[in-house]
Structure 1
């Protein structure tokens, strides 16, 4: 068993086909089949169940897949750490970010990181809670770092306080909403709401707060993406309840208005795996996320948000001050 065989095996497992995996890996199908048979013989176990419908993993194959992902990530991390001692960070880095932070945090960080560390292959996953479970991505080794809404931390993960901001009501420009005029939960009851489909962390925060007061949202429209919610609000189809950062770009353009919901705050956490340390690239990303967030908050572009806690960088530089 070797690293190459494990990479080949994971590709076959992901695609469910030796033929498609061979095309992706740019090797001949017979050669890939021989590698899979050699791996099974070496482990004395049947890893792949072959049928007319394609390839599925046996119980032994599922066991190997879970271990192989972690082994390869550890191998890549060691290789990157050795290389990085003689130059800039390199290797792969995967992060998962909520779509609500797309304009305020995700793109500025991506742009700065790519400029600063061009030798790192950066992978960014973005999706609502119903599409992307960032907690499990990090726990399963599919991502090195993630920003998530506060929740019950998993035992295998380290979770650090990152940003705290209010949930807000978003409405058309002429609806009288303003950042300096908070609304109560009671103010939401009679407003037609455009809501992101469950499960969604922002919706959970608002509905939980309203349930504590025996209140219910007046849901007029339910959609599955933040982009559709914002478009519906901009078009005057209703109001939305989203994290403040979700609508900043439209607010700056005057396309919507926005008001914080009194007492309803979302806390964002930065999470990483507990067992495996971050690569040099991961450490730089960890620091850069905080630096960009600090800049956006301190310049007033991310109003009403607060930077929470700090993560000491490896190079000993002090963290940005909290606001």
Structure 2
């Protein structure tokens, strides 16, 4: 199958319009429509349905996008960097991932990094921001995706902002169409993070401003433990949607947005000044993480706001 047709398909899906996609790709709209028709003929399925605003994916189209976007991106990266000194890096790279971001980011990011650094191996540590910062300072982790921290030993570049939601068990009455005020959410039995960074800081600051007490039943820095307790119907939790999308889709959890105020966590890429990697490699690692996050946000797989600006280069930090 012609991979160009798959690229055209993905662009149409991103733009939601064949006309807009043709403009971005720099090809005539009839030619793009013809390529899409050939792809649908090859597969024997309809990939889009027409709407007043353009086109939207069919169920079969959604499945194709989910299964092809990552591999195509990794193939492009592998070809792009095949002759670069970056591609010849031959060592183990230590990555840290905020546990709330693992489900949405781990697989596509490792796929892209493997394509850029085909001779490297990767070790992945997950945890809270505090745990990952400590691991970076000890040299156990090279680069991490974390919440912001007020630590001058850590170079941090923000990537995205995403709102928290209230999640409950399958028997809860939470409704995505009916946001819950923060003061009502904290009156429910909650499981909250032990760590004071990230989500823990958001909850503490919002509670202080609202002059309320958070009614927590238990604390843990394990997102998996949080989700298990919520799934069992024992407690509620405040988490980003990306951390529990799978459980929600499977009917094991329900959710509703939080309002008055909206709680927004920020995530970025971080390293220390002692990072033992060549400058070109450091820049490429950060750029790959940034580009992967941007692609996930643009595709809708990560429901957040991409806020990164400029390049990531710890070697140039003060």
- Normalised by the size of structure 2, how large is the TM-score? 0.63
Which stretches in structure 1 are left out of the alignment for 5+ residues? 1-82, 315-323
- Larger Rg computed on CA atoms: 1
Question: 3-state DSSP class of the match of 1:301?
Answer: coil
TM-superposed CA distance for 1:294, in Å, is: 1.8
1:241 matched to 2:231: no
Offset at 1:145?
A: 1.3
Equivalent residue, structure 1, for 2:121: 121
Partner of 1:85: 85
Partner of 1:260: 257
Distance (Å, rounded) in 1 between the aligned partners of 2:185 and 2:168: 11
Tell me if the contact between 1:203 and 1:241 (Cα under 8 Å) persists in the aligned partners.
no
SS at match of 1:93: strand
Alignment correspondent of 1:204: 201
- 1:85-127 CA deviation, whole Å, 9 max, x = no partner? 3853332322211111111112321233235433112121112
Q: 1:266 to 1:282 in 2, by over 3 A?
A: same
User: What stretches of structure 2 of length at least 5 have no aligned partner?
Assistant: 1-82, 314-318
Rounded Cα–Cα distance in structure 2 between residues aligned with 1:179 and 1:278: 45
Provide the C-alpha distance between the structure 2 equivalents of 1:169 and 1:107, rounded to a whole number of angstroms.
25
Q: Distance in 1 between matches of 2:85 and 2:118?
A: 16
1:64-86 Cα deviation digits (max 9, x unpaired): xxxxxxxxxxxxxxxxxxx9638
Deviation track 1:30-69 (CA, whole Å, cap 9, x = no partner) reads xxxxxxxxxxxxxxxxxxxxxxxxxxxxxxxxxxxxxxxx
* Secondary structure of 2:263 counterpart: strand
Residues 84 and 90, structure 1, Cα contact 8 Å, conserved in 2: no
Supply the distance in 2 between the matched residues of 1:226 and 1:309 (Cα, whole angstroms). 25
Per the alignment, residue 270 of structure 1 pairs with: 269
Name the CA distance, whole Å, in 1 between partners of 2:270 and 2:221.
25
Normalized against structure 1, the TM-score is what? 0.62
- Deviation readout 1:263-298 (Å, 9 max, x if unpaired): 211111211234658534443332222222222212
In structure 2, relative to structure 1, the CA distance for the partners of 1:210 and 1:281 (3 Å cut) is: same
CA contact (8 A) 1:161 1:267 kept: yes
